[in-house]
Amino acid sequence: MSHVQQPSRVFLEGPAGTGKTTLAIQHLQSLLQAGASPDSVLILVPQRLLGRPYQRAAYRHARVPGDVTVVTLSGIARRNLERFWPLVAEPAGFDPTREPVFLTLETAQYYMMRFVRPVIAEGFFDSISLTAPRIAAQLLDNMAKAAEAGFPFEQVTDRLCAAWGDRHSSRLLVYRKSEEISQAYRAYCRQHNLLDYAAQLEVFTQHLLPHRVFRRYFAASYQHLIADNIEEQSPVVHDFIRFWWDHWQTAWLIYDTDGGFRSFLGADPASAAELRELCQEHFCLEEPVTMSPEVDSLERAVRIALGGDSAPVEVNPRAALEFTYHTYYPQMLDWIVDRIADLVRDSVPPREIAVLAPFLPDALRFSLQYRLESRGIPAVSHRPSRALRDEPAARALLTLLLLAHPNWGFTAPPPVDVADMLTQVIDGLDPVRAQLLTSIVYRYKHGGALSAFEAIQPPVRERITYQAGQRYETLRIWLQTVSAELAEQPQPLDYFLRRLFGEVLSQPGFGFHTNLDAGRIAAQLIESARKFRQVLYPYDHGEPNWASVGQEYIQLVNEGVLAALYMPDQCEEEVEAVFVAPAYTFLMRDRVVDYQFWVDVGSDSWWKRLEQPLTHPYVLMRGYPAGRFWSEEDEIDAQRRMLYRLMVGLLRRCRRRVYLGTADLNEQGYEQRGPMLYVFQQILQRYGEQEGQA
């Protein structure tokens, strides 16, 4: 299709695997080949990763230099609030004379916790078993949901209370108290020009979007819109699309009819579907281009089992399934890895295999990777994030941070931590020699001082090796010098970490010189410390108390609030490796593989929503009638729809076969009989024998 022939307003819908994105990319290619500038194209996606195919296509086909803009709505909001801050600050209740401070999830949590903790201490949350960081996270989540749905956050409490109804408990009081906390937090943020995610969205949509200066700027920038996966977007994004509707030269909206996987994060497929009426052209793609007849048949059987509409099952779906019962969880993992090894031996490329679980706790990820690696099978796992304190490199840096700041009031790090740190940072020092060195030079009970290598008896020095000793001395003298400097002239902790990394650890002879992964973690730690410091002391006024910033930072790390983000070096789908991921992450990758392994099919987690006592994903949706009770029937219906979406979504992304891992007892020893297991048993009962062969 040429640019001229392209319809200008298209609503493209269909289930996964029918070629919607491929078609939209063709449209983009046509636009570019017809001479449209890449800079004029806005690709609006729920996650930036989903824009990659468009970026690649633009790179290959653009005639005019430039880049398409792949962006999320919050990205647009933040970028433009920075740019146009003086225009909106005052009407939104902020101080236009000072820069806005954008809070990350972590720093927002830090501030919210300041308001949560005293309320916990007063006993208001005694009927809720949640840690302070979790309470803070849920209150922030409520504010974010209100902003995404486009209602004032004060409405959250009324909605939650109505949904709870007259069930007996102190929950209503808890909801009301939560609102008081949120109000106080919000007032504090206004006073200090702090903008969390919810505030960014609100200020953007209510104040900046209608502003004529911004409108002129934005209209001059973009003429074409491609919005993919609109079913995974929140109503405020749909409002944004509507707001600009008459402006676009071309606008393509792409909608996955079985999607809505991010409902917990505010996605609203119903609101997305309403955009259909804006478009002149409406294409519906239905024929799957990816699944084998057996998998297609299995998908139909699942639809029928879960009470959905489907064409009749014609091919026996049994051939698309393989499974066996196991008693123990690790036995199931062994079985999965055995089957993967069989596939790889039969020349299946590892990247055509995905191992999917409802959640991917570290122990599971580690066990799978360990087993796969010991068979020589490459694996790449997606982990959304994990606590910084669990990263060995981060722990080593924090140990050094504490050693350099004895005046911060923490007890000195235990000798085990010091030995670990030395093993990591001194190249060539093994754990036994590190322990030997620590046992001699480290005075744990005397404030954590380190003594000189030279002071060690020569025969023991020889045992440790002079090379390691020299490196230790470099580190020790650096620490001593910097520590003395810091005692006189305190500095922010990120300055210290940056110097430590730059002047010592990244140098030849030190562990981070060659260990790129450790270097990445170090960079993240420095960045996280910098952001934390900037949020606490955004302006150059007064004399900041760096010791207290350092103390609070370390406390947050110890509480597990600060996370190390996982940033893949390259696209996971391009790596020749088995992909291990939580099922929802896989679904949001829009990726199709030949073989899927579903870990622990009996687990309840496959169909359970993330149930959190202080928030509610459905009740806080725009379309949910405010004031309506949320019944047991609603709950079951929502869970069934979710299981349906999940199973159909996964099968639509599988070409050849699904392997079901089942274990009678989960990793804690509890017996499992989740609904997904029953769905498969029903299918097997109908179409084939009950148990597959291990």
Considering only residues 24 through 63, tell me which ones interact with another protein, judged by CB under 8 A: none
- Segment (H or E) for 225: strand 224-227
Q: How far is the CB of 386 from another protein (least distance, A)?
A: 9
Specify the 3-state DSSP secondary structure of 324.
strand
Measured CA to CA, the distance from residue 450 to residue 432 in angstroms comes to 18
Task: Confirm or reject binding of residue 117 to another protein (CB under 8 A).
Answer: no
Residue with structure tokens 């869970």? 639
DSSP string, 244-285: TGGG-SEEEEEEETT--TTGGGT--HHHHHGGGGG-SEEEE-
Measured CA to CA, the distance from residue 681 to residue 693 in angstroms comes to 15
Q: Among 185-193, 251-259, 422-430, 572-580, which window interacts with another protein (CB under 8 A)?
A: 422-430
- 449-450 vs 442-443, strand pairing mode: antiparallel
Task: Confirm or reject binding of residue 405 to another protein (CB under 8 A).
Answer: no
Q: How far is the CB of 129 from another protein (least distance, A)?
A: 5
Produce one character per residue of 242-273: b if its CB has 16 or more CB atoms within 10 Å, e if not. eebeeebebbbbbbbbbbbbbbbbbbbbebbb
Considering only residues 354 through 373, tell me which ones interact with another protein, judged by CB under 8 A: 359, 362-363, 366-367, 370-371
Residue with Cβ nearer another protein (591 or 686): 686
Build a one-symbol-per-residue string for 232-271: x at contacts with another protein by CB under 8 A, - elsewhere: ----------------------------------------
When binding is defined by CB under 8 A, the residue of 271, 424, 524, 528 that contacts another protein is 424
Q: How far is the CB of 132 from another protein (least distance, A)?
A: 8
When binding is defined by CB under 8 A, the residue of 169, 280, 457, 570 that contacts another protein is 169
Considering only residues 299 through 358, tell me which ones interact with another protein, judged by CB under 8 A: 305-306, 325, 327-331
Task: Confirm or reject binding of residue 678 to another protein (CB under 8 A).
Answer: yes
Measured CA to CA, the distance from residue 665 to residue 433 in angstroms comes to 42
When binding is defined by CB under 8 A, the residue of 75, 560, 688, 692 that contacts another protein is 560
Residue with Cβ nearer another protein (2 or 668): 668
Q: Among 73-81, 103-111, 649-657, 661-669, which window interacts with another protein (CB under 8 A)?
A: 661-669
Cβ neighbours for 389, distance < 8 A, ≥ 6 positions apart: 395, 398, 557, 558, 560, 562
Q: φ and ψ at 550, to 5 degrees?
A: -60, -45
Task: Confirm or reject binding of residue 435 to another protein (CB under 8 A).
Answer: yes
Cβ neighbours for 446, distance < 8 A, ≥ 6 positions apart: none
Task: Confirm or reject binding of residue 667 to another protein (CB under 8 A).
Answer: yes
Task: Confirm or reject binding of residue 433 to another protein (CB under 8 A).
Answer: yes
Measured CA to CA, the distance from residue 352 to residue 319 in angstroms comes to 18
Task: Confirm or reject binding of residue 643 to another protein (CB under 8 A).
Answer: yes
Task: Confirm or reject binding of residue 445 to another protein (CB under 8 A).
Answer: no
Residue with Cβ nearer another protein (66 or 560): 560
Residue with Cβ nearer another protein (246 or 632): 632
Task: Confirm or reject binding of residue 670 to another protein (CB under 8 A).
Answer: yes
Measured CA to CA, the distance from residue 1 to residue 474 in angstroms comes to 66
Rg (CA), the chain: 28
User: Can you read off the two tokens belonging to residue 466?
Assistant: 């002079």
DSSP annotation of 89 reads: T
Residue with Cβ nearer another protein (108 or 135): 135
DSSP annotation of 461 reads: H
User: Can you read off the two tokens belonging to residue 47?
Assistant: 């996650």
Considering only residues 462 through 491, tell me which ones interact with another protein, judged by CB under 8 A: 463, 465
Q: How far is the CB of 281 from another protein (least distance, A)?
A: 39
What number of other Cβ atoms are within 10 A of residue 550's Cβ? 26
Measured CA to CA, the distance from residue 183 to residue 181 in angstroms comes to 5
Residue with Cβ nearer another protein (28 or 388): 388
Measured CA to CA, the distance from residue 194 to residue 396 in angstroms comes to 32
Residue with Cβ nearer another protein (198 or 301): 301
Residue with Cβ nearer another protein (255 or 644): 644
Residue with Cβ nearer another protein (224 or 395): 395
Residues β-bridged to residue 42: 69, 225
Q: How far is the CB of 103 from another protein (least distance, A)?
A: 23
Task: Confirm or reject binding of residue 417 to another protein (CB under 8 A).
Answer: yes
When binding is defined by CB under 8 A, the residue of 3, 9, 61, 134 that contacts another protein is 134
Task: Confirm or reject binding of residue 603 to another protein (CB under 8 A).
Answer: no
When binding is defined by CB under 8 A, the residue of 675, 687, 688, 692 that contacts another protein is 675
Residue with Cβ nearer another protein (251 or 360): 360
When binding is defined by CB under 8 A, the residue of 273, 285, 319, 665 that contacts another protein is 665
Residues β-bridged to residue 665: 671
Measured CA to CA, the distance from residue 235 to residue 534 in angstroms comes to 32
Amino acid at 242: R
Build a one-symbol-per-residue string for 74-103: x at contacts with another protein by CB under 8 A, - elsewhere: ------------------------------
Amino acid at 91: P
